[in-house]
Structure 1
Amino acid sequence: MNRRTLARLVLTGLALGASLGLTPAAAEEATLRIGYQRSSALISLLRQDETLEKALKPLNVAVSWHEFTSGLPIMEALNVGRIDVSADVADTVPVFAQGAGAKITYIAQEAASPEAQAILVAGDSPLKTVADLKGRKVAVTKGAGSHYLLLAALKAEGLPFKSITPAYLTPADGRSALAGGSVDAWVAWDPFLSAAQVQAGARILRDGTGLSAYKRYYLASDSYAQKRGDVLTLLVAKLREAGTWVKANPDAAAERLAALWKIEPEVVKRANARRSYRVEPVSRDGLAEQQTIADAFHGEGLLPRAIDTSALAIWDAPTR
């Protein structure tokens, strides 16, 4: 074979490889960057036993993990390209992210868990009903699912959001504020909710039953959802398996998560009992409450502009 023939074959091979996406860069190991919160139970389990890394190895994809204090910073990181996928975030989080112009795609959801968030008061508080919150100071994490629960609970009593004084705090600071008496109530989600009950004797004033479905959503950047359906398919399958395992093995799941979260297994078991952990595809009809949430926040002036929640993309998961 002469030099001219060899060069022609090399060039032909490179052109064919490029047409198939087999460039030198594609041969390198890719990395799936996942943003999560401490309360991201299923992702925490996958991270602990490296289940996802093992599943993605045949695709030559590694995983990096990035912890955030709440859902909104995760959405910001997703929007600016610092991460590719978010672990479960509360139903309100995509709404606020969309209001800020984020380009994100729903990829899966955990089915409704209305009892997994609640308005709490101290065990010896004189407050008995949501109506008693009028004129009181309430700790809540801005933009979290608990924020919408507070809005919905007040509305059910005929009270506008301005009838209370919000203290926008992280879960840890909210619990400290309630324990210290600097707020009259605190709106929390599990496992923080169960921890406050078990460890501090906090009392539930009202949970989300009949007020907020409290679904939790997994999202990806638009670009990642469009490019890496193979990775998302494996991720969702592993999340579904983890959710099924947690519900089938409550004691073992509580022990594992308790060790990760550094809290008592009793707390985790109570929290897990309230969460569905049923990982499902997202449907347009199933997102109806998202518009209700957006309208509620906009009506109270907490969302700067009206949005159409149906404008966010839904990843077209392959049929099993």
Structure 2
Amino acid sequence: MRKQRQPRSSQGHTRNCLNDLIDTQGFAIIDGALATELERHGADLDDPLWSARCLMEAPELITRVHRDYLEAGADIILSATYQASEAGFRSRGLKPGEARDLMRLGVRLARDERDRHLRRTTRLNARPRPLVAASLGPYGACQHDGSEYHGRYPASWREVQAFHAARLDVLADSGADLLAFETIPSRPEAEGIADLLAAQDGPPAWVSFSCRNDVEVSHGEPLAECLAALDHHPRIVAAGINCTAPRHLGPLLQSVAGSELTLIVYPNSGETWVSGENRWRGEGNADFDVEGWYRAGARAIGGCCRTGPDQIRQIRAALTRAAELSGPPGRHG
């Protein structure tokens, strides 16, 4: 199994909170799908803002979903900001300042529910303090056309980077423990994000890619090349795969076995998003090979689209078994 690096300091930050958590218990559990659970609780997300619509109309539902995931065993909860942007909120009549306030609200809702969870459970268990990650989706996610699953944008990379810069300016100082750049479909978009992170101070970040097969990210570059381009970055402490069919994860992890980054994986259910129909199609696969992914080097594992608290409970049970078999906690080499 690959050797794991020691925690690195990011600019202005002396602690890598993600790897501190992994060192404590041997793994970290990321929460599951936000939109799936919001819809289950009655939210109408047939909207370009998707889950971010609830920041405007039903923030109490977001809080409820965070609570469900924390109670299911999640160590990391992601804010409802994946598709939030100033442009998206302005299209609904909000002023720029109001849009930025809503983006910060997404992080505050997660932090507040994390803190309530700690007050409820501190005497009941000895789990590490959960982390809050500010979610930042790719440029394509805010186009509402499914292009986060192929990365072929009708925009220059300069425009894509400007899109990320505007959201990073808001969320970098929102109080999140981590920044989570999710479902990134290409190496150029990831490298643009890395350049932005290198130019400013702020919390540590991870970058996770959507992948189309056993080797390549959605745009076509090998995942191994994408992770190599992020290695030794002062702010990026982890990288990996999300919103990808579970059947691809084993081979993808094998393809990046030499990476020194902490590896994260949180697949979708195995269904396929059809943007023209605005829905998921196909059969889901709830049989996550969590212990196999752990043996292959993944240390932060969770779920993405079409997963829920039940999957998170199962992941926690599987990772607890895997960590016990591996010996003392840590990012085992």
Which band: TM-score by shorter chain?
Answer: under 0.3
TM-score by length of 2: 0.22
More helix by share: 1
TM-score by length of 1: 0.22
More strand by share: 1
